[in-house]
Amino acid sequence: MNPLFAPLSIGSLDLPNRLVMSPMTREHSPGGVPGDDVAAYYRRRAEGGTGLLITEGVAIDHPTAVDSPAVPRMTGDAALAAWRRVVTGVHAAGGRIIPQLWHVGPLWGAMGDVDPNLKPMRPSGVWGRVGRTVYPTDYIERAAAPTAPMTERDIADVIEAYVRSARNAVDVGFDGIAIHAGHGYLLDSFLWEPTNHRTDGWGGDPTRRLAFPVEVVRAIRREIGPRLPIFYRFSQHKQQDYGARIAESPRELERILVPLRDAGVDVFDASARRFDQPAFDGSALTLAGWAKKVTGAASMAVGSVGLSTSLRETGTPEPVSLDGLFRRLDEEEFDLVAVGRLHLADPALAQCIRAGRPLPAFRRDLHETRLH
């Protein structure tokens, strides 16, 4: 049997296969409210046989969570009623769905104009080290201006916002919670030394830099109970610098991930530009592979699955063989695989793979402009 189609249970979540739709920002929810087109978009992937859908990043209940009015929110009567319709449609199609809770943190303002009277949430008031990035120079120059660091009240408010949004998600029927804690966004910015210069209990050394993400996970776990799964996206790379790293060795990665596991994470979503690249020198093991090895928890691989190039590389990606992916799944290097762009090209991607048909071609118009 193809290992991609083996069932898997994680807490209360029973999955028919290991294929996951990866979170992808779509910006098709005016006023933060997903419409019928968004509900149909997710339902089509459930009908297509994908084991689990993880929604696009969803703004938590905080004023500077997300800087686009078309990104959906997990707060407010209209948005929650809309999400209930999304979940109902996915469940009716036999699918499972969890939302990815999101706070952009230091990257506030990257997606559009923002209220200058609102304070960005930055651990130390800095944007981070500029490296290899696709952000335009004019945005970087604006973002480089220091702001006030987060206060103890700010930190408490954000933790409470995560908890409220997790509760809202559970109440509308989602099957678990995903937390976006990678790519330089808020939780990740506490881990990354160039954005966290604090010397209090929330920074100063790697252990204290981990305190805020751990407390967010712990607070959500207390709120939703022991059975619903928590997925946690982490990354080495940042939007500010694709070459950034939070761990230089498996031991350093272990020191980060084990406390998060103990706080309540069930699945580590290891975001990489390419899922199959070795994470550290001296081993062929991937980032998802190391996450599973050092924690004993389940892990999920993501990054250019089935494509020749990552999103930020030049040229048009071409389909490539999935044989290496199947081998890694069969060897239990990781447990789940999240696929983004190919799910945009073909909502029935699971059926396509199961039948052994050629993978769909990447379509930039579907990726950048519209729902399908």
Task: List, for residues 70-82, the tens digit of each pLDDT value.
Answer: 999 999 999 999 9
Mean pLDDT of the chain: 96
Stretch 47-71: mean pLDDT: 98
The CATH superfamily holding the domain 3-338 is Aldolase class I (3.20.20.70)
Active-site annotation holder among 162, 185, 232, 242: 185
Q: Does residue 370 have a pLDDT over 70? A: no
Q: Does residue 178 have a pLDDT over 80? A: yes
Task: List, for residues 281-302, the tens digit of each pLDDT value.
Answer: 999 999 999 999 999 999 999 9
Q: Does residue 328 have a pLDDT over 70? A: yes
pTM (predicted TM-score): 0.97
Give the pLDDT score at 251.
98
Residue pair 372/41 in contact by the 8 Å Cβ criterion = yes
Q: Give the span between the Cα atoms of 268 and 276, in whole angstroms.
A: 16
pLDDT exceeding 70 applies to what percent of the chain?
99
β-bridge partners, 102 = 59
Instruction: Give the CB-side neighbour count of residue 323, counting CA atoms within 13 A.
Output: 2
Stretch 322-334: mean pLDDT: 97
Closest CA to 328 of 320, 316, 336: 336
Give the pLDDT score at 362.
81
Give the pLDDT score at 369.
66
Stretch 219-224: mean pLDDT: 98
Q: Does residue 363 have a pLDDT over 90? A: no
Q: Does residue 311 have a pLDDT over 90? A: no
Query: Catalytic residue at 139?
Result: no
Closest CA to 183 of 133, 229, 255: 133
